[in-house]
Amino acid sequence: MANLRTWTFISLCVCGALALSLSGSPARADEKADLEHISRIRKLSDTDNTEALKQLEYLKQKQLSKSTPKVRLEALKVMVSLYYDAGRIQSALNSIAELKTLAESEHDQDGAAIARIMESYALIDDGKPDDALKNLSQISAGLHTSASAEVRMRLQSAFGSAYYITGNFAASLQHYLEALRLTDELTTRKVENRMYKLDAIAKLYTNMKDPEKALATIDEAFSLSPLSHSPKTAASLNISQGIALSALHRNEEAGEAYKRALKLATEAGLASMAVTSLINISDHYLIMNQYKQAENYARQALKQAEVLKDKQSIAVARVNIGFALAGQGKISQGVELINEVVQYFLDADQKPDAEAVLGEQAAMYERAGMFKEALQTVRHQQKLSNELFRSDRAKAVAALQEQFHAQQRQKQIELLAKENDLKDADIRNHRQQQIITILAAILTVLVGAFLFLLYRRVKRINLQLREANSQLEFHAVRDPLTGLYNRRSFLDMMKTRIAQAEAERRDAQENNPDCLILLDIDHFKQINDGLGHAIGDAVLMEVAHRLRKAVRDSDMVLRWGGEEFLVFSPKSSPFQSAGLVERLLQAVGTEPVMAGDKEIQVTVTAGFISLPFSDVPESVFGWEKVLQIADMALYLGKANGRNRAYGISHLLVPSDRALPVLETDLSTAVANGMVELIEVSGPPKLDLSVSKAAESHTGMQ
C-alpha cells in the first residue's frame, strides 16, 4: 500500500509540473524568441563570421541587458567562438570571464563548466597544455551527474586537444571518439559538431602517420556537409585534407586544398583560420623547394599572427621563414630562427612540434652537406621521440581505431534518420505534442525502475563481450611468451605494401627506405640444453624487453620464431640503420641476463638490409627476397665469430648481374665486388665467473 501511495504521489507531481509548464508566460515566449535569434546568428557565422559578430555585438548592446540569464549565457558562449574565429583573442578572453561570472552568480553549473573548459583552451593556446590538463581534470572530477551532453562533449574535446599537443595520441584519440559519440545526444547543431570532431580526428590520424585513414575520415565529414552548409567547417577540413595529401606526397593536390581553405576563411571573416592556411601554403612551397614563395607566404602569416597575438602561429611562421632562408643559402640566419622556435616549443612542453621541427632541420643539414650537425640534430630528435612515445601505445591505438571505424557508418545512418525525425516532429500540432508528453512522462515514471535494471544488465554483458573481444584481438597478433608482435602481424602488414608501391618509389628516391633487421641469439640451444628451458624462456623474454626499449616507437619488433627476432624500422636512411643495429647489439650484450641466481652473457648476431633494396622496385625484388638476403647476412655473421651484424648497403654493379648471384650466394657476391657490405661489431665479451661456469657445463664458446 505504501508503494502504491508513493507512485501515485510521484505521478501527480509530474502531471502538476507539466500542467504548469503548459500555461506558458510572456517572459518565456520572449526568451524563446531571443534564443532563436541567437541561433540564427550562430548559423550565419558559419558563412559570414564578420556579419554574425556585428549582429551579436549589437544585440548585446541594445537588448541582452533586459533578457533572461539563460539568453545572456547562450549569447556569451556564441560570442566567445565568434571572437576566436575572428582572431580577437582578448575579446574572447573577456567574454569567457563574463560568462563565468554570470553562470556562477546564477548557480548555472553547466554554464560555469563551459566557461572553465574555455579557459583550458586558452591555456593550450598560450603554450601551457599541462596546466590545461590539470584544469580539465578538476572540471571532470567536479562535474555534476546531470551535466548536459554539450558540457560533456566540450570537456572530451578539450581533453583530446590537450593530449594532442603533448603528444599523447592514444589518449587524444580516446577522448575525441567519446566527444564524437556524444554529438548524437545534442539537441542543436548536431551535424556541425560531428563534422568538427571528425576534422580533429583526421588531423590526429595524420600525426599518427596514417594519412590514408585521415583522408577517409575527411571524406566522411564532407559527406555530411549538405546538412550544414558551413564554409567555416569546410575551410578547416580542406586544411586537414591538404596535410594528409602532403604526407602521401600528393603535393599539387595539397597546395590546391590549402588555397581553397584560404579563400573560404578570407570570405567568411575567419582571421585565425586564414593565418593557418597561409602557414600551410608556406609548408607546401618548402616541400616543393620553392623557397622564395615559401618565405613570402610565411611572412604574410607572421604579420597577421602578430596582429592576432597568436603565439603558436607566430612560432610556426617564424620556423617556416627559417627553413625558407636556409633553402636560399642563408643557413646561419635560418638556423638562428629555427633554434629559437625549437626552444619555445620545448619551454611550452610542445614536444611533438619540437620533434617535428628537429626532423626537418636534420634533413636541411644533410642537404647542405653539414653531416656533423645533421647527426647531432637526429640524436636530439630521437631523444625527444623516446620521451614522447611508449611501446604500449600501438595496442591502445589499434583497439580505439577498430572501435571507431566499426561504428562510423551506422552512426551516420542514425544521424540522418534522427534529422528526418526532428523535421517530422516540427510539423505536428503543438497541443497534441503536449498531451503525448504528459502520457509519456507518467509511463516513464511507472516503468523507469524496470528499464534501469535492464539497462544495467545489458551494459554489464556488453562490457564483458568487449573485454573478451579485446583479448582475442591482442593474442591474434602477439607472441604469448614475449608479448612482441608475431609473424602473422608482419605478414598482414606486408600485404598492404603492393598498394603503396608509388609512395615507396618516392621514398626510395629520397634515400629514405625502410629497414629489415633479422637477429638470432648466439648459442641459444646450448643455453636451453645446459641450463633448462625455464632459463631459456627467461633469456627470450629479457632479450625481447631490451630490443623493445632500444627502438623507436614507430619501429616494429617481432618474435620471428624460436630464438629469432625481426625489427622493421620504417623510413630509416642507411646511416640511421647502422646506428640502430649497433644500438640493438649493445642493448642485448652489454649487460648480463639475470636468470635466478645465474648471470649469463647473451649476445646476438644480425643481418640487415633496406626495403626497397638499392632502388630495385619491390615488384621485382619483394620483401621475401630481401629478408632472405638478411638471413644470409646473419649467417655470414655467425660464420665470422658471432656477436656482430652484417648489412647489405647497395649494389655496386647493375641489378640484372648482381641479383641472380645475391639470391643464392651472398659470400660470392661480396667476394666479386657486386655489393657493399657494412659490418657492425657487438660489445666486448663479459668476464663473468658464473657465465664461465655455465659455459664449461654446456660447452659454449
Three-class SS string for 122-170? HHHHCCCHHHHHHHHHHHHHCCCCCCCHHHHHHHHHHHHHHHHHHCCHH
Active site residues: 563
CB under 8 Å to 254, separation ≥6 — which residues?
241, 242, 243, 245, 246, 284
Model pLDDT, residue 669: 92
Strands (E), 373-414: none
Give the separation between CA 44 and CA 46, rounded to whole angstroms. Answer: 5
Ramachandran quadrant class, 680 (left: phi over 0; alpha: psi -120 to 50; beta: rest): beta
pLDDT tens digit sequence for 221-240: 888 766 556 777 888 888 99
List the beta bridge partners of residue 407: none
Cβ atoms of 281 and 259 within 8 Å: the answer is yes
Q: Which of 614, 440, 624, 422 is nearest to 518 (CA)?
A: 624
Beta bridge partners of 645: 606, 680
CA-to-CA separations, 638 to 213, 427, 642, 685, in angstroms, rounded: 42, 81, 4, 15
Closest CA to 309 of 628, 89, 65: 89
Length of the chain: 701
Q: What is the CA radius of gyration of the chain?
A: 31
The residue ranges of DSSP E strands in 509-642, in sequence order, are 514-521, 556-561, 564-569, 593-595, 598-600, 604-611
Residues 604/521, Cβ–Cβ less than 8 Å: yes
d(CA 231, CA 234): 5
Check whether 606 has a pLDDT greater than 80.
yes
Q: Is residue 309 scored above 80 in pLDDT?
A: yes
Mean pLDDT, residues 7-29: 44
Are 162 and 136 contacting, i.e. CB atoms less than 8 angstroms apart? Answer: yes
For the residues 560-580, what does the mean pLDDT come to? 87
pLDDT at 446: 74
pLDDT tens sequence across 127-175: 788 898 999 999 998 888 888 988 999 999 999 999 988 878 888 999 9
Q: Compute how many other C-beta atoms are within 10 angstroms of the C-beta atom of residue 389.
A: 19
Helix (H, G, I), strand (E, B) or coil at 503: helix
Can you give the pLDDT at residue 421? 61
Convert the pLDDT of each residue in 409-452 to its tens digit. 555 556 655 655 655 555 565 566 666 667 767 777 776 666 66
591: left (phi over 0), alpha (psi -120 to 50) or beta: beta
At residue 219, the pLDDT reads: 87
Per the DSSP assignment, residues forming a β-bridge with 675 are 651
Greatest mean pLDDT range, 83-87, 443-447, 504-508, 660-664: 660-664
pLDDT above 90 as % of the chain: 29
**Residue-wise pLDDT tens digits, 182-199:** 988 888 888 888 888 898
Specify the range with the lowest mean pLDDT, choosing from 184-198, 488-502, 552-566: 488-502
Q: Which CATH number fits domain 487-698: 3.30.70.270, 3.20.20.70, 3.30.70.240, 3.40.50.720?
A: 3.30.70.270
What is the residue-averaged pLDDT of the chain?
A: 81
- E strand or H helix at 366, and its extent? helix 351-367
pLDDT, position 541: 93
- Please check the confidence at residue 690 and state whether its pLDDT lies above 80: no
Look up residue 647 and give its DSSP letter: E
Cell output for 190:
548536431
The Cα–Cα gap between 390 and 616 comes to: 34
Cα–Cα distance measured from residue 687 to residue 701, given in angstroms and rounded to the nearest whole number: 13
pTM confidence score:
0.49
Taking the domains of the chain in order of start, what are their residue ranges? 487-698
Least confident of 54-58, 290-294, 577-581, 620-624: 54-58
Going from the C-alpha of 112 to that of each of 107, 144, 445, the distances in angstroms are 8, 11, 30
Average pLDDT over residues 497-526: 73
Q: Where are the beta strands (DSSP E) in 586-626?
A: 593-595, 598-600, 604-611
Supply the pLDDT for residue 299.
94
- The C-alpha atoms of residue 311 and residue 317 are separated, in whole angstroms, by 10
User: Is it the case that residue 200 has pLDDT exceeding 80?
Assistant: yes
